Amino acid sequence: MTGFGASAGLSGFDIVTVDDEPLALRRLEIVLRGVPGARLVGSASSCDAAVALIAERRPDIVLLDIRLRDGTGFDILDRLPKDVTPAVIFITAFDHFAIRAFEVSAVDYVLKPIDPPRLAEAIERARARLLADTSVGQVREMRAIISDLRAEFHDKARSPYETELWIRGVTGNLMRVSLDLIDWVSSEDDYVRLHTGTTSHLLRLSIRAFEARVDPAQFVRVRRAALVRVSRIAEIRRTPAGRRDVILTDGTRIATGRVYARRLRELLLEPDGGSEKD
């Protein structure tokens, strides 16, 4: 049997990371360098690749993103061979049930953006479980916990898209932000800024990753570095230079890119036979 004590009692322990964002995998790699005894033996960015990698390398601990483009972390665990039972630490950006669900279980979680001390704490707890959980009964208990979490995940996430975000503030406190409150989103290097009326919130996530997790019928890309909530668009206005700008209901003006302007016309104008203002 692998996992649950296979090598955790030795001087080091093997870790596999799974995330569909290359930047997130890179950050995990950097953070793990500072964790004594941690050996990163592989990374995967899809469900199929993760299942193959974990089955082959048989790590002690898996750092596992919940939402991937081709499935969920729970799907990966379901597909592992029965004798491959690593300790699991879920990595989640803003899954709304995670805080409540994981706090009462033997499965740990870490919120993005990754806080190195918090990750180190989760890994230490996983190591302790690896040393203690050696019986078949305890392996079954872990699988049962993950099965329950998976069921809760699918029950609460009827839509494949996020409905709310959990954002860590500068003091470390977590704040819930409903997607319904977000007017538009701008990219700032490795972050996105969520514009909600007169305030804004910074989330360490690429705009591409954010776009993949929200309903495309609700948010539309207007330029490479900006997404806009469709229901907040008041008009599309053509400038004297020929550029099209999006005007939001609060008066905010956002320049569009040429490729994205075409998509905007298809989405907003053609179905209704609408028009835009010059």
Per-residue model confidence (pLDDT) at position 101:
47
DSSP state of 205: S
Q: 178 and 87 in one domain?
A: no
Q: Please report whether residue 278 resides in a domain.
A: no
Q: 154-178, pLDDT tens digit by residue? A: 555 555 677 778 787 666 677 778 8
Does pLDDT of 143 surpass 80?
A: no
Q: State how far the Cα of 70 lies from the Cα of 183, in Å rounded to an integer.
A: 28
Residues 111 and 173 grouped into a single domain:
no
Range of 19-28, 158-167, 200-209, 221-230 with top mean pLDDT: 221-230
If asked whether residues 114 and 208 sit together in one domain, one would say: no
Q: Indicate if the pLDDT at residue 102 is higher than 60.
A: no
Range from 55-59, 69-73, 142-146 that averages highest in pLDDT? 55-59
For 215, list phi and psi in degrees, rounded to 5: -65, 120
In 3D space, the residue among 78, 146, 79, 158 whose CA is nearest the CA of residue 109 turns out to be: 146
Residue 6 is assigned to a structural domain of this protein? no
Residue 265 contacts residue 259 (beta carbons within 8 Å):
no
Distance CA 234, CA 39 (A): 53
Q: Which residues pair with 43 in a beta bridge?
A: 17
Does residue 143 belong to any structural domain of this protein?
Answer: yes
* Domain limit, last residue, from 99, 124, 156: 156
Do 93 and 172 belong to one domain? no
- Note down the domain range covering 149: 13-156
Residues 125 and 29 in one domain: yes
49 and 124 in a single domain? The answer is yes
* Residues 152 and 260 placed together within one structural domain of the fold: no
Joined tokens for residue 33: 């360098």
Of residues 19, 18, 27, 72, the one with CA closest to residue 191: 27
Cα-based distances in Å from 40 to 37, 100, 147, 199: 10, 29, 26, 40
264 φ, ψ (degrees, to nearest 5): -60, -45
Q: How many residues does the structure list for the chain?
A: 278
- Averaged pLDDT for residues 85-103: 67
For residues 178-183, average pLDDT: 91
Residue 16: the pLDDT is: 97
What are the helix (H) ranges across 68-135?
73-79, 98-103, 116-132
CA distance 92 to 70: 16
**Could you tell me what percent of the chain has a pLDDT over 90?**
29
Residue in this structure with the two tokens 């053509």, named with its chain if needed: 238
Q: What is the CATH number of the domain that holds 172?
A: 2.40.50.1020
- Domain shared by 25 and 133, yes or no: yes
Helix residue ranges per DSSP H, 10-60: 22-32, 47-57
Residue showing tokens 């207007």: 222
**One domain, residues 144 and 175:** no
Question: What share of the chain in percent tops pLDDT 70?
Answer: 74
Regarding whether 61 and 148 lie in a shared domain, the answer is yes
Domain co-membership, 169 together with 147: no
Cβ pair 53, 73 in contact under 8 A: no
Same domain (yes/no): 118, 199: no
> Cα dihedral sign for 83, 84, 89, 95?
negative
- DSSP, collapsed to helix, strand or coil, labels residue 257 as coil
Mean confidence (pLDDT) of the chain: 79
pLDDT of residue 48 exceeding 90, the answer is yes
pLDDT the model gives residue 244: 85
User: pLDDT value at position 8?
Assistant: 42
Q: pLDDT per residue over 50-60, tens digit each? A: 999 999 999 99
Query: Domain tally for the chain?
Result: 2
Distance CA 42, CA 11 (A): 19
Q: Which of 156, 186, 217 is the last residue of a domain?
A: 156
**Quick one: average pLDDT of 112-135?**
79
